[in-house]
Amino acid sequence: MDLIAALQFLNLNQVSPDWVDAVWDLEFTERKPLDHVVEDELCAGGEKPFRDLYLHLLQHAADQQQSAGRDGASQGVWVMLGENGLSVKSLVAVLSYFVLTAKAKGANVQQRVCGLYAASVYLLLLGIPGSIANKVFHEVLLDTCSDLTSHCWPQESGRKRKKDGLKSSQADSKRSKPQWRDAPEMEMDEEEEEEELHFSGQELMKIRDAVAVLLQSLLHLLQTFPLKDRPQSASNCTQIFSKLLYFEPVLGELTFAAPRDLCQLKSVPEMAFYGLKLLCSPRHGEQKESLRRVFHRLLYVILMMNKAHSGKPSLLVPSQAILTTRDQAVHFVCHLVEELKELALPFLQILLQHICFQMVEKSEYRNHGAQAVGMLTCQLASVDYAHFIKWLYKFSAHSKMVHRLFSVDVVMVLLTQPERSVEECQDLELARFLPHKFLIQDLLFARRMDESPTVQGHALSCLAQCLELPSLNVTRAVHNLFSATGTQTVLEEELTTGSSSSQKTYRTLPFRTVELSSADSSSCEAKENLALLLRRVRDSKTNVRKAALQALVGLLKHGVIPTTWENLETLAERSRDPAVSVKKKALQCLAELLAAKPECIVVQKAWLHAVVPAVVDSENSVQDKALEVLDQLLLSQVKPYCEQRHLDRSEKLTWDLLGLLCNECQNLSRYFSRAFTIWSKQNKFSPTFISNLISHTETEHAAGAWLLLSKVVSSVTRVPYAKILDAWDSMVRSPSVNVTNCCHILSVVGDIAAHLNEDTKDRIVADLMSWLKTFSLSLEVISASMQTLYQLGSSDDIKHTQAFLNQHCGELVSVCEAYLASIILSENGTQNLNEDLMIKHLHTLGVASLHCPAKVGKRTVLLVESVLTSHSEKLAGCQEDLPASLPLSQFRENSLPTRIKAHGVIALGKLCLQHEELVQKYLPVFARELEVGTEVAVRNNIVVIMCDLCVRYTNIVDHYVPNISACLRDDEAVIREQTLIMLTNLLQEEFVKWKGSLFFRFMMALVDPVPAIASLCEYCLLHRLLKKNPEMFSQHFIECIFHFNSYNKHKSYNKFPQSEREKVRFSLKGAQHREKRFRIYRFLLEHFTDAQRFNTTNKISQTILACFADEELPLDADGAEILSETFNVLSLKELKLQAILAPAGGAGGEEPEEENVATMTKVVLQVAQKKVVSQVQKKAFIENTVPLIISLKNLLEQKRSPVLKDLMGYLQVTMQDYRNEVKEFFTGDEQLAAEVEFALKTAEKERELQEQLESCSLTPGAQTPTAKRLDPKSPAKRPLLPFNFATPQPPRPSPASSRLTLTDRRERPSRQEEQSQFLERTAIVGGVNNRAFSTPKGFNISLTFNEGLSAIFSDQGTSLSGESSVLHMRPNEQPAPGPRRWNVQSPLRQRKTSARV
């Protein structure tokens, strides 16, 4: 009777029977208002009476279950209610009132708690035997009570989820369209939410406890009440439990074992997992269907997505709570598989496939998803694991980029697991999928040639990570890819499979097996693999280059490939990459390699060549990084020298690097000095650092120590001068001197000269002079000595300094002059000539003359000139008053070696630098020598001299710039390269302007026969000169057409003066040079802006086409060539506006995988821009070009010129974009419009015929080799049918065509009725009524489900003629036949036919 007493507060006898009947008639879908008096009485007691009722009913339910199991009596509660006159129908109606009240948006805490308890009471009643007979059960009320938690618990992110759901519906199918009608209601809900009261912590705890009670009641119900005949309720429970997994955090680890008592389950997620486990029992329906349902819901928990009833899933923010729930879901799946064994394994395969197939592009989600796949695959036996790897192998060739990307992530996780033994799999075909070698070589490394740069880069990055794994087999597999020898590298072009798809990332797939089939791809040999990797280092995409760098370093670090200079040079080159991120990556990679192999000299050289030049990088962050690593390795490791102490690894590396800078890497000295200039401003060099360096000057590290001292002494105030002077004295007395050390010591002495007293200076000057007069020093030491001599004589008084230089340098000039006279003026002077001694005298004379120009007389100049010519008799006869020099060509050749002449030219150039009259005198000589000279070294040095003179005497040398630029077509490559570099420097500093033929001669270097020179020219133009003058290319483009065809009949173009010899040398006229001309045109056009392309096109029409149309230019042979070339240029795709050509929404044919506002805005703007630009171009074409085209066509027809063919070809190319507007364009010439239309249709017909010829094959399964090269983009693509998880429906026929359904059937189909859907590349092979639709290329997706079990492992093909319900799509290698060809006849033929009639 306690239960009856507990029910008294509900006042069931006072409730109107009419109200009860009305509630039942409404099917519990909406709340029927109660009488106010009754309502007040019901709500007066709060939640305590409900709690008491729940506890009493729970006890009675337990007692009745025991008695029912013991003696079969099961009507105790129902009899008790009847004996006390309490109507079960009224009880259910009143309970529903509280439930629906709690479900309302404005419900307060008490209403929500009471509603939850009322729902709990109803579920307990439903679980008591006899509830069906007593008409307690109602499906709608059951679902409402079960899902009451989602309405009573405050949803913080409810508003965001609604917005996401609303946004998701835009891309959904017809099934989700009704959601649009509810949009105003959604907005009202959001406003209500904003006004929703905030609950205190105590109130939330009340609601939480009531939720736990409701959940326990639902678990009691599932233990006793079967849902076998109520699949919709079972599905709803599955969804409810999956939502509750996120309800609250769980303390400790979950075991998922069945509890003895439900009270042992403390947390809501723990109860939810147990509920999911109960739903998998046979009591609630066919177990396979239950597993499919549960795994499907857990799929989105593992994917960290929020999946509603309809629409595509939305991503959840991966917080710690979400990640914890995901891990628990994975462990729960593993628990189910362990308990249910073979029954659950097929659905585990399906789950794995759908995790892969529904993965999104974001790296964080991919990483967690791959980890989940790895954990789940541990539950698979070797045979099942092999089947999954086989599926993954086909999946890795999917057309969607994100799928290929995720397959790489999965491979990396699987490689961390213990390798499966091949012996565990009896099937030899499957056994090959078990070793890690297959994962690396056939899945991971195969993605190196992926069409997507993102996938390429990711695959290469993962390849580098493989070498860090502890597995020996993984390392060996990578070694096998690159360690083979004897393979010829012939990879000239890369074959990629797959094309970008128009599908979006998030889709709802039926939870069925995803079967894929693709063609096998052949692997490359070892050298080809390395060659491909080196090419990837120079890839056009930034992320690919970075990943390739990481892979290359990994291979070098682990000795997979040899550390040769060729491999390391490729690595070092990337430190000068245009992309800042690649530069930093290259520096980081070289630092890793140096740390791994600090004793390898080649690695040290590569590191220096990368890091040292980076100190002058244009990007400050790269500069800072380079300075930081140089400081760490070269400065911080300098410690005092001690004989008893062995150098540690880092110190040894420091001195090795400094040794290389002193010897093999001296060319980096300029960059190295820049680093010290920066450091000196930061006060990096302390007296301790200087003392440490001094301690190494007499050891084996002397070269490196003097190098650092030569850089830092000038910026330090306190220096131990005595030590330096001792080193100087020792060096002067030494019979043999190291050139590098000597130069550094001379530099240090010069830097400290200001701090020395006069006696010391005089002593050092005397030592220097005696040293220089011996002429035994190398040229480098002579130059360094002259610089030190200058520093020793420098003072604040300029006159005093010049007097010092005139005295000492003048003395050296006199000595050199005397020696030259003894050689040149003597009859037998050249017989026993010491070539090196002669060169040293010439070099000393040139360097000294720069410091004392007043001491250089005519005799000195003529003596140097005589080194190049032979007029010594004039010098002998005129010792005092010597005649002016004549051009070198007027003197006969002397017998001096070329080396001496080359140094003589340099010496003469230095004399000219200080005397303007000598410049005017010798410039014609130098120019003539460039034309007729035969000695390469002499002409090379003349180019250097003339360019140096241009800096100081710009106006004088400007007249001879054409002579210098003529060397760009010199027969010797070294002279062409030197000229290119020198002219680029002059153009950069604006000592030379783009005048005359200079630009066109520069363009000739683009087609230089030596690829290195052509590449250098491209670099100079793009990265040095174009930035300074962005209009440079467009200003000269039209004149290029005339110049390179040697056409000078135009009144404006190609009128600058040129000699006949230069015209011939720089001409590209004729068919044999056509390729070179168009290579130049394309290069220029590729770097035009769209505005420049538009203006250039119009200007070509006005300045070339108009001149021929008006017959200002004759249409002779030369004119026909120019006009033909012009039409071919106008047909180039590089001249088309990129705003029109560029696809909207993504570059490189790869669509963005995720939708967001920024992406959509960008796409909309691109489409609008494309439309506007297209209209402007169309208007300009009609107004400016079409009249000229019509006139030219008539003119060419009159003259029967072959250029007419080029004109029609140009129109055919141009009108491709306006093929439906031909008549509008050519309203003034209907015949031309008809001819253009005919040409377009004929071209289309030929193209279709070519496609059919390429795709034809002898047998259905065979294919021609040409078919493999077919364009992967399908000509007719339509969007995919939507995938839905709605209630299974039978197929609905369509009047036009039978649409293939993608949903399950309500009854279980037989095996003969099993429906398969192969989603591929648009071709129907099956029934007449089947419809084709666009899908990923290169594989099949088979979504099958039969008798609740997926046909996962069916590898055999399906009959193409047996089932009309099967939609088969051919792989990429077997393209579909094109559409029907147009039956087009020539307009002329049509006229003839009509005339006959």
**Per-residue confidence (pLDDT) for residue 644, from 0 to 100:** 63
Question: Has residue 1155 got a pLDDT over 90?
Answer: no
Work out the burial of residue 1009: count CB atoms within 10 Å of its CB; fewer than 13 is exposed, 13-18 middle, 19 or more buried.
exposed
**Per-residue confidence (pLDDT) for residue 406, from 0 to 100:** 93
From the list 665, 663, 705, 709, the residue with the least C-alpha distance to 685 is 709
**Per-residue confidence (pLDDT) for residue 1233, from 0 to 100:** 66
Confidence of residue 1240 (pLDDT cuts 50, 70, 90): low
Q: Pull the structure tokens for residue 1255.
A: 């795709």
**Per-residue confidence (pLDDT) for residue 70, from 0 to 100:** 52
**Per-residue confidence (pLDDT) for residue 1168, from 0 to 100:** 66
Specify the 3-state DSSP secondary structure of 1367.
strand
CA angle 906, 665, 637 (to 5 degrees): 140
**Per-residue confidence (pLDDT) for residue 964, from 0 to 100:** 93
According to DSSP H, which parts of 825-959 are helical?
835-851, 858-868, 872-877, 898-913, 916-932, 936-952, 954-957
- pLDDT winner (highest mean) among 142-146, 823-827, 1222-1226, 1267-1271: 142-146
C-alpha span between 749 and 742 (Å, rounded): 10
pTM, rounded to two decimals: 0.71
Question: Has residue 73 got a pLDDT over 60?
Answer: no
Confidence of residue 789 (pLDDT cuts 50, 70, 90): very high
**Per-residue confidence (pLDDT) for residue 1370, from 0 to 100:** 35
Q: DSSP labels for 694-751?
A: HTTTTSTTHHHHHHHHHHHGGG-S---HHHHHHHHHHHHH-SS--HHHHHHHHHHHHH
Residues 307-327 have pLDDT tens digits of 776 677 888 888 898 999 999
Do the bridges between strand 1342-1344 and strand 314-315 make them parallel or antiparallel, or are there none, so unpaired? unpaired
More confident residue, 52 or 600: 600
Confidence of residue 1192 (pLDDT cuts 50, 70, 90): confident
**Per-residue confidence (pLDDT) for residue 1247, from 0 to 100:** 67
Question: Has residue 48 got a pLDDT over 60?
Answer: yes
| Crossing angle for the helix pair 526-537 and 542-557, to the nearest 10 degrees | 130
- pLDDT winner (highest mean) among 5-9, 25-29, 167-171, 620-624: 620-624
C-alpha span between 1036 and 1084 (Å, rounded): 9
**Per-residue confidence (pLDDT) for residue 1067, from 0 to 100:** 87
Determine the average pLDDT of the residues in 820-830.
79
Backbone angles phi and psi of 26, in degrees to 5: -80, 0
Question: Has residue 643 got a pLDDT over 70?
Answer: yes
C-alpha span between 13 and 84 (Å, rounded): 10
Work out the burial of residue 1072: count CB atoms within 10 Å of its CB; fewer than 13 is exposed, 13-18 middle, 19 or more buried.
exposed
CA angle 1307, 1302, 388 (to 5 degrees): 95
Give the type of residue at 832. Answer: N
Question: Has residue 1272 got a pLDDT over 50?
Answer: no
Residues 484-506 have pLDDT tens digits of 543 333 333 333 333 333 333 34
The DSSP call for residue 557 is: H
Q: Pull the structure tokens for residue 616.
A: 């002058």
Question: Has residue 604 got a pLDDT over 50?
Answer: yes
**Per-residue confidence (pLDDT) for residue 870, from 0 to 100:** 53
C-alpha span between 429 and 158 (Å, rounded): 51
From the list 940, 956, 932, the residue with the least C-alpha distance to 905 is 940
Q: DSSP labels for 1292-1324?
A: ---SSS-PPP-S--SSPPPGGG---BB--BS--
Q: DSSP labels for 1145-1196?
A: T-STT---SS--HHHHHHHHHHHHHHHHHHHHHHHHIIIIIHHHHHHHHHHH
Question: Has residue 1305 got a pLDDT over 90?
Answer: no
The DSSP call for residue 1352 is: T
Backbone angles phi and psi of 1250, in degrees to 5: -65, -40
C-alpha span between 944 and 958 (Å, rounded): 15
Q: Are 443 and 395 in contact (CB under 8 A)?
A: no
Question: Has residue 868 got a pLDDT over 90?
Answer: no
Give me Rg for the CA atoms of the chain.
Answer: 44
Residues 713-753 have pLDDT tens digits of 888 877 888 888 888 888 888 877 788 889 999 999 998 88
Residues 118-146 have pLDDT tens digits of 888 888 888 888 778 878 888 888 888 88
Confidence of residue 40 (pLDDT cuts 50, 70, 90): confident
Residue 1087: how many CB atoms within 10 A of its CB?
17
**Per-residue confidence (pLDDT) for residue 125, from 0 to 100:** 85
Residues 351-408 have pLDDT tens digits of 999 999 999 888 899 999 999 999 999 988 888 999 999 999 999 988 899 999 999 9
**Mean pLDDT lowest for which of 620-629, 949-958, 1056-1065?**
1056-1065
C-alpha span between 167 and 989 (Å, rounded): 57
Confidence of residue 1283 (pLDDT cuts 50, 70, 90): very low
Question: Has residue 522 got a pLDDT over 60?
Answer: no
Residues 676-724 have pLDDT tens digits of 888 888 888 888 888 888 888 888 888 888 999 989 888 887 788 888 8
Residue 1314: how many CB atoms within 10 A of its CB?
17
Name residues whose C-beta falls within 8 Å of residue 435's C-beta, 6 or more positions apart in sequence: 419, 420, 422, 473, 477
Confidence of residue 341 (pLDDT cuts 50, 70, 90): confident
| Crossing angle for the helix pair 565-573 and 526-537, to the nearest 10 degrees | 20
According to DSSP H, which parts of 416-492 are helical?
428-431, 436-438, 453-466, 472-482
C-alpha span between 278 and 256 (Å, rounded): 11
CA dihedral (416, 417, 418, 419) positive or negative: negative
**Per-residue confidence (pLDDT) for residue 844, from 0 to 100:** 94
Cα dist. 1195→389, 1188, 1202 in Å? 69, 10, 12
Q: Pull the structure tokens for residue 339.
A: 């308990």
Question: Has residue 148 got a pLDDT over 90?
Answer: no
Question: Has residue 846 got a pLDDT over 90?
Answer: yes
Give the whole-number percent of the chain exceeding pLDDT 70: 75
**Mean pLDDT lowest for which of 218-227, 270-279, 784-793, 1320-1329?**
1320-1329
**Per-residue confidence (pLDDT) for residue 284, from 0 to 100:** 85
Look-up: residue for tokens 């297209």? 1174
**Per-residue confidence (pLDDT) for residue 1315, from 0 to 100:** 34
From the list 359, 357, 410, the residue with the least C-alpha distance to 385 is 410
Name residues whose C-beta falls within 8 Å of residue 1278's C-beta, 6 or more positions apart in sequence: 1322, 1333, 1334
From the list 164, 338, 196, the residue with the least C-alpha distance to 255 is 338
C-alpha span between 998 and 995 (Å, rounded): 6
C-alpha span between 808 and 790 (Å, rounded): 10
Q: Are 162 and 186 in contact (CB under 8 A)?
A: yes
The DSSP call for residue 1049 is: -
Give the whole-number percent of the chain exceeding pLDDT 90: 23
Residues 976-985 have pLDDT tens digits of 999 999 999 9
